[in-house]
Amino acid sequence: MSIRVLVVDDSGFFRRRVAEIINGDGRMEVVGSAANGREAVEMNASLQPDVITMDYEMPVMDGITAVRTIMQQRPVPILMFSSLTFEGARVTLDALDAGAVDFLSKNFDAIAKGTTEIRKTLTDKIAAVARKQSRVVTAPAPRRTEQRSLNKTELVMIGTSTGGPAALQTLFKSIPGSFRTPIVIVQHMPGSFTKAFAERLNGMSPLTVKEAAEGDVLKPGHVYVAPGGMQLMVDKRGGGSIHIHESDQRVNYRPSVDIAFASAAKHFGRSTLAVVLTGMGADGKEGAKLLKKSGSVVWAQDEESSVIFGMPLAVIKEGLNDEVLALNDIGPRLAKELG
């Protein structure tokens, strides 16, 4: 059965091009298009699509208001189109808070040309969130393992992608100001987004949250968000520090969870706790292998609480996880074990 998609944008040209890309994929079809948020709410009720693509700046009713209304009336996975600016980041984060599951760059040139990359990015994300809705993916039974002591943990590394912003906000609401272990977050985001996201986390957490910068010293009670478009590595010399590097364009993810995890495996070894949260793909799996070889503890988010189970599932399938935890349990466990 085809994935039914509703396209929402006030630009007729953009709606047509997005519809052409979606209809060109045999897995899905566009069942309707709306020019503003109010039409989107009405068509969501009447057409009952499986996924909605949504612009945020529209007349009559803006995209964020539409997302909130849809989540109240008939929840459905929503992908936001976003401008890659600092203000665009703030608006997109508001949309994710309202219930959207992920975002894509609103690149008129790429959409107009219908490049292979934009086609694949758009259709793969639609397929991924639709699978979540229908629960096609099923995880293997978690391995039965004894809980390992975390009393020698010096660093917490968190890797995530799709669904990560909302998941991280949920997690940090449970971590008290008394938490002293430095935390490094690697969230797949564009470069213009990570500063705004760090500021948002900082505003809701008693911990100090900042976008990581070259030479940052890993301090107790501090959280460092890897800058988008770059690669973050940690180093234990000098008491623990962060290094930011230009990314090789051949690396799929910028920042990459694998690269950050690998550096923690090399420099912190068994004193690392790695947490793999919701996300599309398998970034983090190879880094988790190196962490396990070094004696680190690895937690994975469970399927039920993941927006997209790809990243945690990749770790679980390889038997790299020590525990599988629901999102609502991760923060309290961190607070209990390391607080």
> Any idea which residue has 């979606």 for tokens?
22
C-alpha–C-alpha distance, residues 218 and 148, integer Å: 24
The β-bridge partners of 325 are 301
Q: Answer yes or no: 161 catalytic.
A: yes
Q: Where are the alpha helices (DSSP H) in the chain?
A: 12-23, 37-47, 63-73, 86-98, 108-113, 116-134, 164-172, 191-204, 257-267, 285-293, 310-317, 327-338
Token pair listed for 161: 């992608």
Which listed residue (283, 296, 302, 305) is catalytic? 283
Find the angle CA(234)-CA(285)-CA(257) to the nearest 5 degrees.
35
Which listed residue (161, 174, 205, 263) is catalytic? 161
Token pair listed for 133: 């809705």
Which listed residue (10, 50, 102, 188) is catalytic? 188
On whether the CB atoms of residues 263 and 234 are closer than 8 A, the answer is yes
Q: What is the CA radius of gyration of the chain?
A: 20
C-alpha–C-alpha distance, residues 52 and 50, integer Å: 7
C-alpha–C-alpha distance, residues 319 and 317, integer Å: 5
Q: Answer yes or no: 305 catalytic.
A: no
- The b/e string for 60-81 (b: 16+ C-beta within 10 A; e otherwise) is ebbbbbbbbbbeeeeebbbbbb
Number of H helices and number of E strands within the chain? Answer: 12, 14
C-alpha–C-alpha distance, residues 109 and 90, integer Å: 23
Q: Answer yes or no: 149 catalytic.
A: no
The catalytic residues are: 161, 188, 283
